[in-house]
Structure 1
Amino acid sequence: MSNPPRVRHISECFIKPQHALEESKRPFYLTPWDLNLLNANYIQKGLLFTKSPAADDREDSIKTLLGRLKRSLSVTLVDFYPLAGRLVTKKGENPPSCLISVDCAGGPGARFIHAALDMTISDILSPVDVPSVVQSFFDHDRALNYDGQTMPLLSIQVTELEDGIFLGCSMNHCIADGTSYWHFFNTWSEIFQAEGHNISVTRPPILDRWFPEGYGPIINLPFTDQDEFISRIEAPKLRDRMFHFTSESIARLKANANAEYNTNEISSFQSLSALVWRCITRARRLPMIRLLWELASMVAGVATAGELFEQSLGWAAWQLHQAVVNHTDKMVCEFLDAWLQSPSVSRVGRFLDQYSVRIGSSPRFNMYGNEFGMGKAVALRSGFANKLNGTVSSYPGYEGGGSIDLEVCLPPDSMSVLESDEEFMDAVSVSHSDLYL
């Protein structure tokens, strides 16, 4: 049996900002939220495009594309200058501590990789599960944010397929959250399309970090060695599958959830999340124990397996609605005050196990609005980063209009049960990628 094709790296370089702003010459200090993510992986998301059929000279066409991507990236980094820097650590002795910040001007810039793979778009989109080779479309495989001491904070990989281009971006999660990540991508796309014209970024990033009164911008962590707060774990064997939900399917879930709980306050996403929570719990065949549903690390709903099985979709959705309602400024400030009194770094997987479901990313992000001379992307895919048992990532559906794609990661046996769950699969629809093929 022949070995499957592998991604080949053709070239690599580093891209610096086209010019340096005065503020980029100063240290960029991290907030408690940033420091708490030192143990997490980089954000890894990417877009799959079809090659232009009008390209007569394939070699010249890719050369032109790479040149435009590099030039527009250099311009984009002027405003997003922390992404061109490196993390640096300054240690203190009395008391023992470490200060981690970003040296915006001291790094070589963002890494830019040109790679190739002898596969087609169909090879990537047609399998039921996301092929493992997709992880090779991203740099920084398995890297932690703390590794930004020696690794670029931003890395772009352009992978040529036989009939397509995959544009993968790996970004340090301490520097950017999901909103900032896609803001960067949207700005890069805007600048790419404006090449040759007067370029004015319509929405510059807000880089001023907020610190509670009496704290910051310098926050020292009470550690002397990285082994005291950094932990690397390897996820168990997982299946990674995309599920598509049309706006009509989600509207039915919302209507049913609200009717079952005699309310009109449950949102579309809360209804869909409740369905996922119930069905993944059922697929795991867990005993009647306490379970956690978590959205973006902060908003959490708790129930027992028995409650999720015995109660309706509307009941589960209402628990999530209440979790969102109770996510107040007071609660956030209390968490922040406690962290500042005893700074720590979250351990990857500490709260994500066989009893938890965590939903990240957001269908509200403008993902399909990014164009780089190849038309609209045909699909979204992600890398290895932050995928554990029960991780669910939410993306907008290709057709828009409130449709949603969910990327679900589960052990093989649990995924097989989920695929046979009538309640879940009745809500799943044919995706654009299926139609594309």
Structure 2
Amino acid sequence: MAVSTLSSSVKIVSDWFVRPNRIFPGFDLPIHLPPWDMAMLNANYVQCGLLFAKPAEVANPETFMPSLLDNLRHSLSLTLVHFYPLAGRLATLQSEDGDDHFYTVCISCKDSPGARLVYATLDMTVSDILSPTYVPVVVQSLFDHHKAINHDGHTQSLLTVQVTELEDGVFIGCSMNHCVVDGTSYWHFFNAFSEIFQAFTGGKTDLNEISCPPVLERWFPGNMKGPINLPFRDAGEFVDRFEAPVLQERIFHFSAESLAALKARANREAETSKISSFQSLCALGWRSMTRARKFPEQQATGCRLSANNRHRLEPPLSPVYFGNALSTVRASATVGELLGNDLGWAAWKLHLAVVNHTSEGLITWNENWFKNPVIYKLGEMFDPFSVMFGSSPRFNKYGNEFGMGKALAARSGYANKFDGKVTAYPGREGGGSIDLEICLPAATMAALENDAEFMAAVTV
């Protein structure tokens, strides 16, 4: 997908399937998926990971990786006790008897070999990954499930942890089925995995409890319950594989001070105090990427933001609800309107899209989906005239250490990327700083890099 290339390649050395450390009543029962989960069957797995420097002082370098892998394998087994759906596979329940028709997809842990742990090597350095202007294409190989869609979870693991050893570093990348988790749940698992690893390697023996246990019971709206009967007789009726175009990926950093100035400007121009730093940043990205694309003034354009629905529902879902509780909110305008007005105008439109994303609308969406189930097709959802901001700078990405100290960087894989896709990360230094991973064709990326308004906010 990316145009930058490096000659070295990732070599798989060994892999293991890991099951929960203990099994309990109900483990073998199917977990029925609600609309927000089921609609994701054609999306790619969620892929994100952390790059660590090898510790400078290692007592025995030859035993460092074997010891790390043993500790990761045992810690993963303990973590899966709390997040056991990730040890399963997807299963289709189907029966046909005359006019009666039943077709549904669920999570089944019965007879599953478990989650997958992979050890790989890469003859490159940390600098080889971080120094290039554009994210090297080899980063895509640091994750399992390359180009897989969630429906492939019928035969492939719902979770793989790939541990790739570099000459002077280690990359720990998770790929997780998007029918099972959204970004909030993804990082909830990652944080718990790190917590258990730290406790286990620190000599703690009672690991039956974690600081933030997940709520595993799936949420269905109102009195509706699973299983959901899909209007299909065969997966071929809805499975769709989207192939991303050739793109460049670049990480742009925005310091807390730069974001504060951007927020102040947006609020001043919109004559309000309600616009957030992230809304201001997204408005800047929307305007700048639209300008770089050189669309005609009458062209319609939009900006979509990922929205966590847990706290928006009435009554709210638990913040540790494990599953998909994700939607997108959208602001729209013509190119002429977007570029003819100021930053505050665009940021206010995004602010209104967020505040108007209410429980009533979410319940209505779910009820309508029950009546007319639709499986998303990324190729149809991709709008070449719009931009999409995914993930969140609020996720705890740099609090995961695995005995190697604070990560040097976070990186993502091939999954769910297209022209105009932006992934938000917290900045490594914290304090409210943000990194944006932007995916664009080479010519558009060059135009963005020459956009004075955008680059003035970027922090070197």
Q: State the TM-score bracket (shorter-chain normalisation).
A: over 0.9
Matching of residues 203-222 of structure 1 within 5 Å: 203-222=212-231
The SS at the match of 1:316 is helix
- Of 437, 440, 455, which aligns to 1:410? 440
Cα deviations by residue, 1:93-123 (Å, 9 ceiling, x for unpaired): 3344411001123210011110000100000
Shift of 1:16: 0.6
Shift of 1:24: 1.6
The SS at the match of 1:349 is helix
TM (norm. structure 1) is: 0.96
The SS at the match of 1:232 is coil
TM (norm. structure 2) is: 0.92
Query: Is the contact between residue 349 and residue 388 of structure 1 (CA under 8 Å) also seen in structure 2?
Result: no
Structure 2: runs of 5+ lacking an equivalent: 307-326
Provide the C-alpha distance between the structure 1 equivalents of 2:373 and 2:186, rounded to a whole number of angstroms: 26
Provide the C-alpha distance between the structure 1 equivalents of 2:329 and 2:197, rounded to a whole number of angstroms: 36
Cα deviations by residue, 1:271-318 (Å, 9 ceiling, x for unpaired): 000000000111111112111111124211111111111000000000
- Of 60, 65, 82, which aligns to 1:62? 65
Question: Which one-letter code corresponds to 1:291 in the other structure?
Answer: T
Counterpart in 2 of 1:375?
405
Matching of residues 181-200 of structure 1 within 5 Å: 181-195=186-200, 196-197=203-204, 198-199=206-207, 200=209
The SS at the match of 2:390 is strand
- Of 284, 287, 291, which aligns to 2:301? 291
Provide the C-alpha distance between the structure 1 equivalents of 2:442 and 2:102, rounded to a whole number of angstroms: 43
Query: Is the contact between residue 237 and residue 411 of structure 1 (CA under 8 Å) also seen in structure 2?
Result: yes
Query: Is the contact between residue 6 and residue 136 of structure 2 (CA under 8 Å) also seen in structure 1?
Result: no
Shift of 1:336: 1.4
Provide the C-alpha distance between the structure 2 equivalents of 1:279 and 1:244, rounded to a whole number of angstroms: 15
Question: Which one-letter code corresponds to 1:365 in the other structure?
Answer: F
Shift of 1:54: 1.2
- Of 229, 232, 240, which aligns to 1:223? 232
Query: Is the contact between residue 424 and residue 434 of structure 2 (CA under 8 Å) also seen in structure 1?
Result: yes
Provide the C-alpha distance between the structure 2 equivalents of 1:74 and 1:10, rounded to a whole number of angstroms: 20
The SS at the match of 1:277 is helix
Provide the C-alpha distance between the structure 2 equivalents of 1:56 and 1:80, rounded to a whole number of angstroms: 34
Counterpart in 2 of 1:130?
135
Matching of residues 8-407 of structure 1 within 5 Å: 8-93=11-96, 94-195=99-200, 196-197=203-204, 198-199=206-207, 200-288=209-297, 289-296=299-306, 297-407=327-437
The SS at the match of 2:41 is coil
Query: Is the contact between residue 352 and residue 358 of structure 1 (CA under 8 Å) also seen in structure 2?
Result: no
Provide the C-alpha distance between the structure 1 equivalents of 2:47 and 2:199, rounded to a whole number of angstroms: 26
148-157 vs 56-65, which deviates more? 56-65
Provide the C-alpha distance between the structure 1 equivalents of 2:6 and 2:420, rounded to a whole number of angstroms: 30
The SS at the match of 2:37 is helix
Question: Which one-letter code corresponds to 1:413 in the other structure?
Answer: A
Question: Which one-letter code corresponds to 1:166 in the other structure?
Answer: F
How large is the Cα RMSD of the aligned pairs? 1.2
CA shift in 2, pair 1:368/1:312, >3 Å: same
Query: Is the contact between residue 286 and residue 305 of structure 1 (CA under 8 Å) also seen in structure 2?
Result: yes
Shift of 1:256: 0.3
Question: Which one-letter code corresponds to 1:160 in the other structure?
Answer: E
Question: Which one-letter code corresponds to 1:57 in the other structure?
Answer: N
The SS at the match of 2:351 is helix
Shift of 1:3: 7.6
Query: Is the contact between residue 88 and residue 101 of structure 1 (CA under 8 Å) also seen in structure 2?
Result: yes
Structure 1: runs of 5+ lacking an equivalent: 431-437
Cα deviations by residue, 1:177-220 (Å, 9 ceiling, x for unpaired): 11110000100111001113122211111101111233222111
